[in-house]
């Protein structure tokens, strides 16, 4: 009896709660939207901003940083220009040094025999003196048993002199004779080529002309190795 009564009361207590849950309680997702909720998007669109507005305070704060960065960039550009200038100068100095070294080496090669050539000049002059010691009429005379030995000696001296001069010319040494005529006239005195040992009057020569050659001059690769010693006419 008591159990039946308890079961009835329990059923009566559960029946309203189940009815409310099944009939009156509706989930939020299934409820129809109210009028205010349907009009809310339109109202929100009416208050949408027309454009974006930004504050200038961050820009003002970043301005000193930009100025510092610009100054650093300018300093680096100046350093680059300075380094480029130094680099170009160093390259130019290196090239100039190479050219100077090359010129020095070429000069050393060209004038390496300068001292040796100077020592030979006296021997070459002796060849000229030996040939001039023989009178010209004996050299032009017909060959006979009496003058055959003399003519052979003179021919041998000339041959030896020619071989020696050809050998020296291959090494840049050349001889010049101020006594040779230029356009049929004696050469004028040139202080760059000639050394005047004396000056005298000469009716057969113009003033300043070379009238006597004491020793011939020599050049070594275009440089005067020894000036020619000459006598110069001075009529005034």
Rounded to whole angstroms, the Cα distance separating 187 from 181 reads 6
- Average confidence (pLDDT) over 53-81: 76
Query: Is pLDDT at 30 greater than 50 in this prediction?
Result: no
Q: What are the two backbone dihedrals, phi and then psi, of residue 43, each rounded to the nearest 5 degrees? A: -65, -40
Burial of 77 (0-12, 13-18, 19+ CB in 10 A): exposed
Cα dihedral 20, 22, 27, 29 in deg (nearest 10): -150
CB 198 within 8 A of CB 223: no
Other beta carbons less than 10 A from residue 67's beta carbon: 10
| Bridge partners of residue 95, in order along the sequence | none
List Cα–Cα distances, 42 to 45, 51, 191, in angstroms: 5, 19, 114
* Domains in the chain: ranges and CATH: 114-233 (2.30.22.10)
Other beta carbons less than 10 A from residue 55's beta carbon: 7
Reported pTM: 0.58
25 vs 203, more confident: 203
Question: 28 falls in which pLDDT band (50, 70, 90)?
Answer: very low
% of the chain at pLDDT higher than 70: 73
> How is residue 201 written in tokens?
């009057």
Beta pairing class for 194-200 and 228-233: parallel
pLDDT of residue 176: 95
CA 17 to mean position of chain CA atoms: 105
Mean pLDDT for the chain overall: 81
pLDDT of residue 112: 87
What tens digit of pLDDT does each residue of 152-199 get? Answer: 999 999 999 999 999 999 999 999 999 998 888 999 999 999 999 999
Query: Is pLDDT at 41 greater than 90 in this prediction?
Result: no
């Amino acid at each position: 009896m008591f159990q039946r009564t308890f079961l009835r009361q329990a059923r009566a207590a559960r029946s309203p709660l189940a009815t409310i849950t099944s009939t009156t309680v509706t989930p939020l997702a299934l409820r129809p939207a109210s009028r205010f909720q349907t009009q809310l998007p339109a109202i929100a669109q009416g208050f949408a901003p027309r454009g974006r507005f930004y504050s200038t305070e961050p820009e003002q704060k970043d301005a000193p940083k930009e100025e510092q960065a610009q100054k650093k960039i300018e300093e680096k550009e100046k350093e680059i220009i300075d380094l480029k200038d130094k680099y170009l100068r160093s390259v130019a100095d290196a090239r100039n040094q190479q050219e100077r070294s090359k010129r020095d080496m070429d000069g050393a090669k060209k004038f390496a025999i300068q001292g040796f050539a100077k020592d030979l000049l006296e021997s070459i002059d002796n060849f000229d003196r030996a040939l001039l010691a023989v009178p010209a009429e004996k050299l032009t005379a017909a060959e006979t048993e009496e003058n055959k030995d003399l003519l052979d000696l003179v021919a041998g001296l000339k041959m030896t002199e020619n071989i020696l001069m050809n050998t020296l010319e291959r090494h840049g040494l050349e001889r010049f004779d101020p006594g040779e005529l230029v356009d049929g006239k004696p050469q004028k005195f040139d202080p760059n080529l000639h050394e005047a040992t004396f000056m005298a009057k000469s009716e057969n020569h113009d003033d300043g002309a070379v009238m006597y050659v004491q020793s011939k001059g020599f050049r070594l690769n275009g440089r005067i190795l020894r000036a020619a010693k000459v006598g110069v006419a001075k009529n005034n």
